[in-house]
Structure 1
């Protein structure tokens, strides 16, 4: 399968939803022992068949304790960098910003369900913290749900387009 589609792949997503909530459901040690070898094999196969392909790892929740393992695996993009109280965005950017592209971080549970002003404030803050130096894709911190007002999504992407051209200065 990879041999057939490899030349056409730009990004492949590896799912990890079973890893995190307010904190990872498994320890970094458990991840390294039981999950990492399988992910290493999969990533090696993808890299062989599609060297141009970026590898995106998706997981909800607080994955910060497992980010070193993802970097070690050679993950290119982390989705969704959920803005939880336990996640210090500036610390994450400072520690992993040279190794990972962050995709997401706009809160689906609060600002995207509030009003346009809340969305705009969060987009500005995420760009201020996560965009310097590159490696940030402005997007919701998970898959958009039906109760998110369309006007808020329009505001998110309008402002991202307006402010999100590199080099960014917010």
Structure 2
């Protein structure tokens, strides 16, 4: 099976030849540590292909329509950039800053202080933004020609709201004090994500949209199920419906302990949910037993693998693969390989994954 066939089969509850898998490095620092500066001077698709081949991934994620804070993406304007810093402007006028090493990202300016500001923000120049999609058309085709499952990266109902309009802390407070403002911001932000995603769908051979929507700390979700249901759930559902109407898949990502929201995520209609990290308090065994026949589960490998000894890495992977099973499960790292992982452990990790995907991880 190709990577594309393997991922689609897992999303649809069908048998695969080996366990579907996607992984990579967790940040620019990790890529620099393992690839070096010469490789990192390549284009995004050259780096993505090298990373996919190194990990034997089935799935490649494209940095569009919106991958803040992971990077600027094609729909943002670069204001200034050098070897250490990056400053960009979003299509709604927000300003984001990156320090490249050590990695750090922050919204410098949020364009909305109140509902009047939201109403005054003009619509982006959609036709100008549409022209930018052509820059990723050929790179995506090359990835598809190699048999990968290729998705865009976007933001969900909560992340799109705070990243484009109000900032994280303000949006947290707004949920309690200005819920009507949050509703309007979320709807407008998601409208933009959908519009841009469909632009990419119209021009490129993408297979779907992977949306990030971090909603919790290691101990609890940022807000109650009631708040999610009243403010965000319908907008997440609209993303799913818009992409499904074009025959595309929609995958959902949220770090943090979101056990209390998980059933709502399933009801929103996502094709897969990740990353299911025990470090975040996620009970993978419980989730698999309760939801494993309703939605594909992606992830399981903890973001703490950089601190594990080799024997702990092996046991961790064995445990995750045993729980995940052979149906509706895509093995994946919760955060990817961090820069502090030793080369020895990295090679052992790749070997363990290779064997686990084929069911022979118990061999010494």
Q: Residues 106 and 140 of structure 1 are in contact (CA less than 8 Å); yes or no, is this contact kept in structure 2?
A: yes
The correspondence for 1:154, drawn from 318, 325, 347, is 347
- The 3 A distance-change label for structure 1 pair 55 and 64 is same
TM-score, length of structure 2 as denominator length: 0.41
Map of 1:129 onto structure 2 = 323
Map of 2:293 onto structure 1 = 98
- Give 1:85 shift: 7.2
Q: In structure 1, what is the Cα distance between the partners aligned to 2:254 and 2:310?
A: 26
- The 3 A distance-change label for structure 1 pair 151 and 75 is farther
Q: Which moved more, 1:84-93 or 1:54-63?
A: 84-93
Task: Tell me the secondary structure at the aligned position of residue 102 of structure 1.
Answer: strand
1:118 aligns with 2:312: yes
Q: Residues 20 and 61 of structure 1 are in contact (CA less than 8 Å); yes or no, is this contact kept in structure 2?
A: yes
Q: Which moved more, 1:151-160 or 1:40-49?
A: 151-160
Q: Residues 208 and 243 of structure 2 are in contact (CA less than 8 Å); yes or no, is this contact kept in structure 1?
A: no
Map of 2:262 onto structure 1 = 67
Q: In structure 1, what is the Cα distance between the partners aligned to 2:347 and 2:297?
A: 21
Task: Tell me the secondary structure at the aligned position of residue 297 of structure 2.
Answer: strand
Q: In structure 2, what is the Cα distance between the partners aligned to 1:100 and 1:151?
A: 35
TM-score, length of structure 1 as denominator length: 0.83
Task: Tell me the secondary structure at the aligned position of residue 278 of structure 2.
Answer: coil
Task: Tell me the secondary structure at the aligned position of residue 62 of structure 1.
Answer: coil
Max radius of gyration: which structure?
2
Map of 2:279 onto structure 1 = 84
The correspondence for 1:15, drawn from 187, 212, 220, is 212
Task: Tell me the secondary structure at the aligned position of residue 331 of structure 2.
Answer: strand
- Give 1:35 shift: 0.3
Report runs of 4+ in structure 1 exceeding 4 Å deviation.
none
How many residues are treated as equivalent by the alignment?
Answer: 164
Task: Tell me the secondary structure at the aligned position of residue 159 of structure 1.
Answer: helix
The correspondence for 1:164, drawn from 332, 342, 357, is 357
Task: Tell me the secondary structure at the aligned position of residue 8 of structure 1.
Answer: coil
Q: Give ranges in structure 1 of 5+ residues lacking alignment.
A: none
Q: In structure 1, what is the Cα distance between the partners aligned to 2:209 and 2:260?
A: 23
Q: Give ranges in structure 2 of 5+ residues lacking alignment.
A: 1-195
- Give 1:150 shift: 3.5
1:36 aligns with 2:233: yes
